[in-house]
Amino acid sequence: MPELPEVEVVRAGLEPAVSGALIVSVDVRDARALTRHTGTAEHFEAELTGRRISAAVRRGKFLWMPVGDDEAIVAHLGMSGQMLLRVPGAPEERHERIRVELENPVHGDLSLVFADQRTFGSLALDRLIDTPDAAPAGRGSPLSRVPTQVAHIARDPLDPAFDDARFRARLARTSSGIKRVLLDQTVASGIGNIYADESLWAARIHPETAASDLPTRSVNRLLAEIRAVLEKALAEGGTSFDAQYVNVNGQAGYFAHSLNAYGRTGQPCPRCGRPIVRVSFMNRSSHFCPRCQRMR
């Protein structure tokens, strides 16, 4: 699934196109793309037509576009969802599910296309509620209002309002393996399988080390490495292994060329030269160096 860097690349690409844009029309071409929307396709089209989008906002790997003070279009990209910007009248995209025609006061007419090969993603109109800490809900907006579908998701480590002390305290009372904790979106959002492996490799921590066994200095180092890995991935446009993970212009990211552990089974560790190993983990895989990342 796309993780924080991939979704942030999409958000940043959408921002100038959707901010201040009027929704001229909405065409739901496949109702399966509305699985998280509580109404019908006709309701979705009618409720959005004539509304104005104020911003493109992200928390972790969740993306939304406020339409007024109380509602937002929430985009769940799922396994293969794409948000693409096209000129009006552009040919239909492969796996296109929804097309939204926009009128931007600066950039003119644009088409926003939601395409999804595997149909696990969706768009939904959702209600906005206040954030408990009164801080901005996510990157892209100063407003402290978050969709109900995203409210349970923790802030991500790149969020200025992320609470390092709270993160350390949560780890201190959690006996689960540290990688399992990093993937828990209620602890810290946006860190998926790829970036968990890369961050743990950089911090020299074995993925199965109990979170509560990590001393404060190790947790601080891990947080620093998580942020460094995410920032580098952002700078390189995210990680793309196939044509499914692309930005709003359909271009792939190239952080895959910078990976040190994930997907490098049998290849030498860039730090010590010992082969990277792969083990099964939560219906997926963990990749790590058995020499650099020893169990405590």
Summarised one tens digit per residue, pLDDT across range 97-113 is 999 999 999 999 999 99
Angle, CA of 10, 11 and 15, to the nearest 5°:
120
Reference 6, options 186, 203, 244; nearest CA is 244
Contact 125, 28 (CB under 8 A): no
pLDDT at 242 over 60: no
The reply to whether 232 belongs to the active site is: no
* Phi, psi (rounded to 5 degrees) for 200: -65, -40
pLDDT confidence of 78, banded at 50, 70, 90?
Answer: confident
Kindly state the percentage of the chain with pLDDT values over 90.
Answer: 79
pLDDT at 34 over 60: yes
Segment 262-274 shows an average pLDDT of: 95
pLDDT confidence of 245, banded at 50, 70, 90?
Answer: very low
The reply to whether 61 belongs to the active site is: yes
Segment 73-79 shows an average pLDDT of: 92
Highest mean pLDDT among 224-238, 247-261, 280-294: 280-294
pLDDT at 295: 86
Distance CA 205, CA 192 (A): 16
Reference 45, options 56, 59, 58, 30; nearest CA is 30
Domains defined for the chain, CATH in brackets: 4-147 (3.20.190.10), 164-288 (1.10.8.50)
How many other C-beta atoms are found inside a 10 Å radius of the C-beta of residue 268? 12
Sign of CA dihedral 94, 95, 97, 103: negative
Place of tokens 């924080």: 4
The reply to whether 2 belongs to the active site is: yes
pLDDT at 1 over 80: no
The reply to whether 166 belongs to the active site is: no
pLDDT at 254: 41
Segment 66-80 shows an average pLDDT of: 93
pLDDT confidence of 235, banded at 50, 70, 90?
Answer: confident
pLDDT at 257: 62
How many other C-beta atoms are found inside a 10 Å radius of the C-beta of residue 203? 22
Edge-to-edge strand list for the sheet holding 22-28: 22-28, 96-104, 108-116, 81-86
pLDDT at 249 over 70: no
pLDDT at 118: 87
From 51, 61, 99, 170, active-site residue:
61
List, for residues 118-176, the tens digit of each pLDDT value.
Answer: 888 999 999 999 999 999 999 999 999 999 999 999 999 999 999 999 999 999 999 99
Query: What average pLDDT does the structure give for the chain?
Result: 91
List, for residues 201-232, the tens digit of each pLDDT value.
Answer: 999 999 999 999 999 999 999 999 999 999 98
pLDDT at 243: 45
Q: Does 95 show up as a binding residue in the annotation?
A: yes
List, for residues 81-101, the tens digit of each pLDDT value.
Answer: 889 999 999 999 999 999 999
Q: Does 118 show up as a binding residue in the annotation?
A: yes
Distance CA 191, CA 5 (A): 9
Contact 225, 203 (CB under 8 A): yes
pLDDT at 80: 84
Q: How far apart are the first and last CA of the chain?
A: 30
Contact 201, 221 (CB under 8 A): no
Angle, CA of 117, 118 and 119, to the nearest 5°:
95
Place of tokens 């560790």: 269
